[in-house]
Structure 1
Amino acid sequence: MERNTVGVPTGGWTAIRFRADNPGVWFMHCHLELHTGWGLKTAFVVEDGPSPDFTLLPPPQDLPPC
């Protein structure tokens, strides 16, 4: 995992480009946990790719339901 910091001025924004090649739901949040409670968070849903190497494995048979 790589971590980088982007300085954004008040009222500013930034664009983040990344390669989504690992299926699953990935949580992204600000660098301060307090900000997560304020709603400064998001989740990326990465769907299966074109080949088995980029496909999420099924859950185990003994996984209890939610």
Structure 2
Amino acid sequence: MNWLVPLLAAGMTATAAPHPGEADGGAASPARNVLFLAIDDLREALGSLGAAQVRTPNLDRL
């Protein structure tokens, strides 16, 4: 248990450190586009997977 407190302190210090380019006032890199789809009961009900009854044009374009 004695190792837990220093480990947590080191982890919090490492994650609180500024990112490269931000500390010296440099230009930040452009933001990246990230799309995360979490669908629990989709199965194969997509138009791109061959489902005829379901139309999903926006997802098909991805």
Of structures 1 and 2, the one with the larger relative CO (CA 8 A, separation 6+) is 1
Task: Say which structure is richer in strand.
Answer: 1
Greater Rg over alpha carbons, structure: 2
**TM-score, with structure 1 as normaliser:** 0.23
**TM-score, with structure 2 as normaliser:** 0.23
